[in-house]
Amino acid sequence: MQTDKLAFVKSMLPFWNKLTGEEAALLTKHLKTATFASGENVHSSIDDCVGILLVKSGELRAYILSDEGKEVTLFRLGGDAVCVLSASCLISSITFDLFIDAVRPTEVCLIDTRAFSRVMERNVYAENFALRVTTERFSEVMWAMEQILFMSFDRRLAIFLLDETAKTGIDNITMTHEQIARYVGSAREVVSRMLKYFAEEGMVAVHRGGVEILDKLKLRKLI
Amino acid sequence: MQTDKLAFVKSMLPFWNKLTGEEAALLTKHLKTATFASGENVHSSIDDCVGILLVKSGELRAYILSDEGKEVTLFRLGGDAVCVLSASCLISSITFDLFIDAVRPTEVCLIDTRAFSRVMERNVYAENFALRVTTERFSEVMWAMEQILFMSFDRRLAIFLLDETAKTGIDNITMTHEQIARYVGSAREVVSRMLKYFAEEGMVAVHRGGVEILDKLKLRKLI
């Protein structure tokens, strides 16, 4: 089991073979497995700095949160994803607060921030990896930002609904309007209004606790 | 003059002393100075990849552009700033289109993308620098995003006007409503309406081609 965990971590960290024996031992020593229940908060704000997350299974959602409690989803992380922003205190140039929740039951390997930080100070390849992963997230955030700022809301919602059914293979999306609003970076009222319009047009059926997709072709035409 | 240029570049690139003689020679050979007029486009989209920009004087503005021509300003770069996103083809994980214009007459040193790319492949410190600078921009973009998504518009506009007068030291902001709208990521109509309200409240005076700040204290109270 311990060996399995280490093998997983090595497979996720391409710089592992550039580590000295001492550095590898330090990371190995400060490695743990953690599981999060659906909806559980994994990381909140740069102050707590939970550590480097290596997602084994499940799904995480990263978002920003306004003073008034408005959430905007920036990206999601599935199996085999690495998240460095959950250890954002590692990189001094990261100055924004990010929140991460588990979308479904999720298992992760967690590398302690301080241990990783000590390795990063000595090993430029470890630092390089952390910066490169961060840059990848930058592109994902830019994509989310363009969706939110530039795309008309009917298109955004149609894309979200079609993506969800494509991902699960089921035409029934069991999410509240509130939850959908968080994913698409909007307000519940706006989502409810647009879903009502979609329902009137025969594209979806809205029922308690979910949305059923009825006419994918018509939804696709919105995109 | 040539020596001055090189001294400037060395002062801006902290990894210079980690370069081999050959690598330093390669960068030095592919270095040039360029000037841009006020409003001139410096970089557009990831395809052209103008190169690494080292700003000597003046000011650049980086923004994204929607299909419908809507602009959202992400960050500005003043003297002694480095921009790697203008050579975004360097970093494969950067997949978004960024546009950069000169806000005022601007002088830059430009390092050829291909030359920098060759150095980056061999020298992990050069790659590290490019990634670190990119991560800094990530934080700036997140800040801009939070302003746009979370802040009420009167606050955003008040902050923009006060920042502008603080920067120039002049109470008169010579910008059209259209230009202000681009900077704050809004529409001209929204800016005009809010400025009209600010004017009615005695905080500003709106005149042809500009806005004059009349009551900074009252504007500051909005923030």
**Between residues A2 and B163, which one has the greater pLDDT?**
B163
The mean predicted confidence, pLDDT, of chain A is: 88
At residue B76, the 3 state secondary structure works out as: strand
Q: What is the pLDDT of residue A47?
A: 61
Residue B156, pLDDT score: 86
Q: Which of B138, B147, B149 is the best mutation test for A, with the most CBs of A within 10 A?
A: B138
Confidence of residue B121 (pLDDT cuts 50, 70, 90): very high
Distances (CA, A) of A214 to A174, A200, A217, B107, B126: 14, 11, 9, 57, 53
| pTM listed for this prediction | 0.76
Residue B87 pLDDT grade (very low, low, confident, very high; cuts 50, 70, 90): confident
Pairing relation of β-strands B31-36 and B99-111? antiparallel
Write down the ipTM of this complex.
0.74
Q: What does the pLDDT read at residue B24?
A: 96
Chain A residues closer than 8 Å to B66 by CB: 146, 149-150
Residues 60-79 of B with CB under 8 A from A: 64, 66-68, 70, 72
Residue of B nearest to A148 (CA): B149
> Tokens in use for A150?
């530039």
Higher pLDDT, B94 or B37: B37
Q: In the structure, what pLDDT confidence band is assigned to residue A222 with cuts at 50, 70 and 90?
A: confident
pLDDT value at B215 more than 60 = yes
Judged against a pLDDT cut of 80, whether residue B69 lies above it is answered with: no
Q: What is the mean pLDDT of residues A171-188?
A: 86
Upper half-sphere CA count for residue A49 (Cβ side, 13 Å): 16
Best of B46, B63, B132, B152 to disrupt the A interface by mutation (most A CBs within 10 Å)?
B132
Instruction: Tell whether A121 is within 8 A of chain B (Cβ).
Output: no
Does the pLDDT at position B46 exceed 60? no
Tell me the chain B residues in contact with residue A146 when contact means C-beta distances shorter than 8 Å.
Answer: 64, 66, 96
pLDDT at position A68 is 67
- Over range B28-32, report the average pLDDT: 94
Q: Which of A82-96, B55-69, B158-172 is the least confident region?
A: A82-96
pLDDT of residue B47: 61
Whether the per-residue pLDDT at B126 is higher than 60: the answer is yes
Q: How far is B94 from chain A (nearest CA, A)?
A: 6
pLDDT for A186 equals 76
Q: Are A62 and A87 spatial neighbours (Cβ–Cβ below 8 Å)?
A: no
Contacts of A138 in chain B (CB under 8 A): 93-94, 134-135, 137-138, 141
Encode pLDDT of A49-100 as tens digits: 888 999 999 999 999 887 667 788 889 898 889 998 888 778 877 777 889 9
Q: For residue B39, what pLDDT band results from cuts at 50, 70 and 90?
A: very high
**Cβ under 8 Å to A: B residues 4-43:** none
- Closest CB from B70, B96, B131 relative to A139: B96
Higher pLDDT, B156 or A211: A211
What pLDDT is recorded for position B31? 94
For chain A, the C-alpha Rg in angstroms (whole number) is: 20
All residues at 6 or more sequence positions from A209 whose CB lies less than 8 Å from its CB, including other chains? A174, A175, A176
Tell me: pLDDT of B189 over 80: no
How confident is the model over A155-176, as a mean pLDDT? 91
Handedness of CA A47, A51, A52, A53 (dihedral sign): negative
Of A22-26, A159-163, A165-169, B94-98, minimum mean pLDDT range: B94-98
pLDDT at A43 over 80: yes
Tokens 């990189």 correspond to what residue? A91
Q: Is A155 on the interface with B (CB under 8 A)?
A: no
A192-196, B16-20, B69-73, B176-180: range with lowest mean pLDDT: B69-73
Predicted confidence band of residue A182 (pLDDT cuts 50, 70, 90): confident
Q: Residue A38 above 60 pLDDT?
A: yes
How many angstroms away from the CA of A171 is the closest CA of chain B? 31
- HEC readout, chain A: CHHHHHHHHHHHCCCHHHCCHHHHHHHHHCEEEEEECCCCEEEEHHHHCCCEEEEEEEEEEEEEECCCCCEEEEEEECCCCEECHHHHHHCCCCCCCCEEEEEEEEEEEEECHHHHHHHHHHCHHHHHHHHHHHHHHHHHHHHHHHHHHHCCHHHHHHHHHHHHHHHHCCCEECCCHHHHHHHHCCCHHHHHHHHHHHHHCCCEEEECCEEEECCHHHHHHHC
Residue B106: per-residue pLDDT: 97
Q: Is A128 an 8 Å CB contact of chain B?
A: yes
Average pLDDT over residues B85-103: 84
- Which of A132, A142, A149 comes nearest B148 by C-beta? A149
Q: What pLDDT, on the 0 to 100 scale, is given for residue B173? A: 93
Structure-model confidence comparison of residues B109 and A94, the more confident one: B109
Q: Where is pLDDT greater, at B70 or B170?
A: B170
Check whether A46 has a pLDDT greater than 60. no
Mean of pLDDT values over B34-55? 87
Distance from CA of A170 to the nearest CA of B (A): 30
pLDDT at A64: 87
| Cα separation, B86 vs A15, whole angstroms | 28
Name the strand (E) or helix (H) holding B33.
strand B31-36
